[in-house]
Amino acid sequence: MIKASTAGFIFLITLAVPQATFAGPEEDRRAFVAYFETRFPDVPFAEFANGIYAIDQNARDQWLDIEEFPPYEFAVEQGASLWQEKFPDGKGYTDCFKHSENGIRQRYPQFDDQAGEVITLELAINRCREKHGQERLEYGGENMLALTAFIAFESRGNPFNIKVPADEPRALAAYDAGKQFYYSKRGQLNFSCADCHVVSAGQYVRADRLSAGLGHPTHFPVYRSKLGALVSLHQRFAGCIRDVRAKPFELQSTEYRNLEYFLTYMSNGLEVNGPGARK
């Protein structure tokens, strides 16, 4: 416990040094991966895509039983139907997402240099709808979750390959904002994301163990058994912020999109395996 906490503290101090000291995001990612590979030496890199099931065998056994009849399969089927629908102008989602047959999820989030902001998959879906005269879907709503569940399912096996263009200062600023969010303490409990999922990864909170931050975005949206429903990555962000007794941001806020940008970049090389099932 002491060794793990000390290593985590040193790691956080290292990443807290001003960005100019380092060459860029790729050095951050390598340090992030190396930390978890050292912390959990018996866990292969690819296994971190499975969250807590990579480090807790009992939980993994239960998860494998659940996956025999996955609780998210109806949402995937619903998403497939929505994906195939045509808009009134005769166009569809495939007209917005080129090369969708090769998978989509692994390419998001991405930085849009024209808009000057991070575009998540959910934001891209609503952009597509607006382009073809349709109303935006509710973030966290049933149809959006079903669509993203289907897209994730169809993208399984594709490794994340998120880009932070070195020649685009706004992209680097968005990445840095997401990084700062991840390591900043907040709320009445004065916790950061990293306090739970870096320093305390693998340790118990009541009856549950905390998952490693490496690989967190790979399996969303996630069916949560205790809620009996799918939740998006941003809904999970909001839940964590509420847990530390802070006020959550709006879904698809700039803060959450930048956080997703940073956290997904940290998971580059891990395969999409969503939608997932969690407690």
Question: What would the mean pLDDT of 179-204 be, rounded to a whole number?
Answer: 97
Q: What are φ and ψ of residue 229, in 5° steps? A: -160, 165
Start and end residues for every CATH 1.10.760.10 domain found in the chain: 2-69+169-278, 73-154
Residue 125 and residue 147 in contact, taking contact as beta carbons nearer than 8 Å:
yes
- 2 — pLDDT class (breaks 50, 70, 90): very low
- 100 — pLDDT class (breaks 50, 70, 90): confident
Q: Is 196 tagged catalytic?
A: no
| Closest CA relative to residue 135, chosen from 120, 144, 230, 76 | 144
Domain 2-69+169-278, architecture per CATH: Orthogonal Bundle (1.10)
Tokens representing residue 7 in the block = 């290593």
The single residue listed with the structure tokens 């809620």 is 227
The pLDDT of residue 208 = 86
In the predicted model, is pLDDT for residue 132 greater than 70?
yes
Residue 194 and residue 33 in contact, taking contact as beta carbons nearer than 8 Å:
no
**Annotated catalytic residue within 128, 193, 196, 240:** 240
In the predicted model, is pLDDT for residue 63 greater than 50?
yes
| CATH superfamily placement of domain 73-154 | Cytochrome c-like domain (1.10.760.10)
User: Picking from 119-128, 201-210, 256-265, which range would have the lowest pLDDT averaged per residue?
Assistant: 201-210
**What secondary structure, in 3-state letters, does the chain show?**
CHHHHHHHHHHHHHHHCCHHHCCCHHHHHHHHHHHHHHHCCCCCHHHHHHHHHHCCHHHHHHHHHHCCCCCCHHHHHHHHHHHHCCCCCCCCHHHHCCCHHHCCHHHCCEEECCCCEEECHHHHHHHHHHHCCCCCCCCCCHHHHHHHHHHHHHCCCCECCCCCCCCCHHHHHHHHHHHHHHHCCECCCCECHHHHHHHCCCCEECCEECCCCCCHHHHCCEEECCCCEEECHHHHHHHHHHHCCCCCCCCCCHHHHHHHHHHHHHCCCCECCCCEEEC
The pLDDT of residue 3 = 45
